[in-house]
Structure 1
Amino acid sequence: MIEKLRTRFEGLIDIEYIRKKVTIRPEPVGDIDRLPPMLAAHILEMALRQIFLPNQFSLELIAELVGRAAVHSAMCSESEQTFVKGMYYPAPAETFPICLTGLAGVGKSATIDALLRVMPGPTEFKIDHCMEPQTAESFWYASAKGKASGKQLLTDFLGIEVTTRENASILKSRAQQQANQRGISLAILEEMQHLTPGKGVALTTDILLTMSGLGLPMVYVSNFSLGHKLLKRNQEDTQRLIAQPRIMWPDAPESKIWTDFIEECITVSDGRIRAKPADFSHEIYRGSYGLKRAAIHLMVQAYIQARTLNRTRIEIEDVHRAYISSSYYSYRVDVEELERIAIQKNSKRDDLNCPFGSPIRSNVVQFVRKERDNRVAQAAFKGALTAEERETHKSLKLDTDMKVQKHQRPKRPSLGKPTNDDLGNAFSDYFGDKDDE
């Protein structure tokens, strides 16, 4: 029955299987226009945040991590003797964790959630060494948020009080035994950028080194700012903790995955986006730099702008107003700084600069440069006009916008339901005219 531990990962590394398993297309939001604007916007935002269409990076990363877990599980359960030995005498081992990093809001946590959906669930197996059937788990998911040390992370895993007098070395050995007994094959650590303030990077280093000492394949999630801090550590730390970065970048503006994401947002909004999909996709990308979290927030704010004007459908102008609104201010500052970095390639903000020297995609840079050139050309054109020419240009634009809109024939007023007297008078008039003839 030990074979169950090896076969539980079969078929889980196939890219197409992963794509079908992790893709989420939520139901349209339905009739939310009768609700107050802010409540309707909240419902729309919750629905949009459920969307997950994995790009090639996410698919390949999930396949890699599941594959590493499968190899580890196969090694630990090569035979029943090997498995039992690991329960009592775990071999000392150290792994170099994978660092999943990228800009805030690019989709790192969503990718980890997708990974958890692919990993096999609890598996019951039987070995001669134990009288009762055992249950194997495939992963250990932990959050570093609020942890005071790597020792506290181990005590949480073991389910004991953090005040125990056992040192970190003994706790690590016990955690290895527990991991082998439970069949855990992958460790996932999140919230690394939200550790206790004031402790610096020393706390982060302690937790990561403790986790890597368990000998499990491991991935941890961090933003760019943490990568810059870890690079300032000593060589023995950097070579262990950030030797295997996986950098997640926003999707390209002309990519199919970005187009599919926008089309899915239009579907989930239940047709509340009136603009042409291509134009809408372009404006959302320009206002969000392709970051999914920012893009969704911009769409929601555009819906609020439309409701403010007594409309229930989002137009391009609503996106423009949402971009300059106070509710989008923090995102706007980041987007404009990212555009400046793409062109000038220098910034003092560590949270927006990749610490591993990976260049921004060339098609994203071309998109940013093209948009900058267009804005400069428009500003130069308008600046060269006289006051009279500016008014003429404004009126021409209004005339063009009016011609674009379809002319709707005014609807005739309803005659209403005729009364009995009306029917009698009409009968008399009609047959009275016949008698006159």
Structure 2
Amino acid sequence: MIEGSQNPWVERFHPFLDEVAIKERALFRPAPLKDLQAMPKEWALRQLYQALEAAFYPTTQCVRILQRWLSIAYAHCQGNYSGHVDYLGRLYQKKVEIMRGTHAMCLTGLGGVGKTALINAAKRVFPPTMKIVTKDGMFVPLESCRIMQMEVRTNPNDLLREFCGGTGSGKDLTDQSRRLAFTNGIAFVFADEFQFNTLTTIASAQITKMLLALNSLGIPFVYAANFSMLHTLNKRNQQERQRLNADITEFVPDQPDSEDWRETLALLKEIAPETFVFDPVKDAITMHGLCAGMKRAMAKLLVIAYSSVHHKGYVGIDELTRAYKAGDYASDREDVLALQYMTTDVRRKRKDLWNPFRSVNDMAEQERQNSEKRQEHFADSSTLAAMPKAERKEHAQAIRQKPAKAAGIRNRDVTKSKLTAEELKRNMQLFRDGLKGG
């Protein structure tokens, strides 16, 4: 409760707007898991996966997106709440009008890149729910944001009934939802898991109707969508596309050599400090190559690796590389390889892997940069990690005699010029061949 505040709807945001506060509140560090070996295997795997899924390191990209959402919610409150007197006057009007300030916003990205985790982090960084006392003595809850889980909704009426707890349909439900949002000071709505609705036969039309229903409330809202859903929405008529696709933010994987990626791996290592023995700095690029920077795939890879060594309980880069080759990781491995070697044919067949609103040149350049970083690290990390111990020993002896020839990579000074396309393809194929072997 904000005592004595003249405008609690706006002032509740003041402590939460700067980057330091956002990063501190967004960070989620699960309690370390100890004595995993002593647990029954399946229980240990379950505990490990849940902790890895819950862990959240707020990268520079995350903080930037969260800060923007907070700023939009803050601006919404500034435009719609000027104080107690105005609030009571509008509250008792027959119809509540909300001043719109933004279009619908879309958060998109690869499946498993961390969209849901980012939305959950938003719940932590937005002001907590509190109560205020109006000038006429009424206790009113202030709810800064709300997350709507969309996979169980089938139509706009269900969606709005869930939002406002009301009855009826159509315009009546919209008015009820708008009144509740104003009364409770809801300044932002997150619609997550819309992609699950794509399983229905009338997916495109129903998704569009649900999104437009939320958009009609006048509250800033973000909907999370995978690339497949964006391709679907992009086929809708112009008026709908203008309402729903005007503001798209792509949540991209961290760079393989970035501080953010290393800090993310360090946080994951803290979850099982007695078990995880990989090096978040030295192994960062190699580990990125095994999951393409997708956090869900990285969590899955760690669990698969641990499953095979539960009896001894240590997971390092060798165990992760073996897990990469495992049957349980086959689907993820297919995605990783497709992302690392994106061609016109791959883009045609795998629309779930690329953003239709992002230029092909941008995607190609990003992957070229990531590939170059992986290849520069290739001889010292990825190839060696993929080899059995005996082969690594022979490789090391060969390297001392004929470095370039033994590594299979042309001798060159990478600091003087960028790798060519042919070299990238050649080195990537060597990397893949190494992963298939052993």
TM bucket, shorter chain? 0.7 to 0.9
* One-letter amino acid matched to 2:349: K
1:240 and 2:243 aligned? yes
Match of 1:256 among 256, 259, 263: 259
1:324 and 2:325 aligned? yes
Give the Cα–Cα distance (whole angstroms) in 2 for the partners of residues 55 and 3 of structure 1. 32
* One-letter amino acid matched to 1:143: Q
Show the counterpart of 1:59. 63
Cα deviation, residue 140, structure 1: 2.7
Task: List structure 1 runs of 4+ shifted beyond 6 angstroms.
Answer: 342-345, 372-376
1:100 and 2:107 aligned? yes
* One-letter amino acid matched to 1:336: L
2:72–2:220: 8 Å Cα contact kept in structure 1? yes
Show the counterpart of 1:142. 148
Q: CA distance change for structure 1 residues 336 and 34 in 2, over 3 Å: closer, same or farther?
A: same
1:251–1:258: 8 Å Cα contact kept in structure 2? yes
Aligned counterparts, 1:98-247, within 5 A: 98-128=105-135, 130-161=136-167, 164=168, 167-195=169-197, 197-247=200-250
- Please tell me the root mean square deviation across aligned C-alpha atoms, in Å: 2.7
Give the Cα–Cα distance (whole angstroms) in 2 for the partners of residues 399 and 175 of structure 1. 67
Cα deviation, residue 242, structure 1: 0.9
1:16 and 2:20 aligned? yes
Give the Cα–Cα distance (whole angstroms) in 1 for the partners of residues 329 and 392 of structure 2. 30
Cα deviation, residue 244, structure 1: 0.2
Q: CA distance change for structure 1 residues 263 and 38 in 2, over 3 Å: closer, same or farther?
A: same
Show the counterpart of 1:49. 53
* One-letter amino acid matched to 1:134: V
**Which structure 1 residue ranges, 5 or more long, are not aligned?**
377-392, 401-437
Give the Cα–Cα distance (whole angstroms) in 1 for the partners of residues 15 and 99 of structure 2. 28
Cα deviation, residue 26, structure 1: 2.2
Cα deviation, residue 278, structure 1: 3.9
Which sits farther off after the overlay, 40-49 or 4-13? 40-49
Give the Cα–Cα distance (whole angstroms) in 1 for the partners of residues 371 and 216 of structure 2. 43
* One-letter amino acid matched to 1:160: G
Q: CA distance change for structure 1 residues 52 and 135 in 2, over 3 Å: closer, same or farther?
A: same
Cα deviation, residue 215, structure 1: 0.7
Question: Could you state the TM-score of these two structures normalised by the residue count of structure 2?
Answer: 0.79
Aligned-residue identity in percent: 27
1:295 and 2:298 aligned? yes
Greater Rg by CA: 1
* CA offset digits 1:240-292 (Å, max 9, x no partner): 10100010000000000111111222222213233444443233211100001
Cα deviation, residue 86, structure 1: 3.4
* One-letter amino acid matched to 1:170: D
Show the counterpart of 1:351. 352
Cα deviation, residue 398, structure 1: 8.8
In structure 1, the residue corresponding to 2:37 is in which secondary structure?
coil
Which sits farther off after the overlay, 211-220 or 174-183? 174-183
Cα deviation, residue 211, structure 1: 0.7
In structure 1, the residue corresponding to 2:222 is in which secondary structure?
strand
Q: CA distance change for structure 1 residues 280 and 40 in 2, over 3 Å: closer, same or farther?
A: farther
Cα deviation, residue 92, structure 1: 6.3
Give the Cα–Cα distance (whole angstroms) in 2 for the partners of residues 33 and 90 of structure 1. 59
Give the Cα–Cα distance (whole angstroms) in 2 for the partners of residues 326 and 191 of structure 1. 27
In structure 2, the residue corresponding to 1:351 is in which secondary structure?
helix
Cα deviation, residue 53, structure 1: 0.8
Give the Cα–Cα distance (whole angstroms) in 1 for the partners of residues 269 and 239 of structure 2. 49
Give the Cα–Cα distance (whole angstroms) in 2 for the partners of residues 6 and 367 of structure 1. 42
Q: CA distance change for structure 1 residues 2 and 51 in 2, over 3 Å: closer, same or farther?
A: same
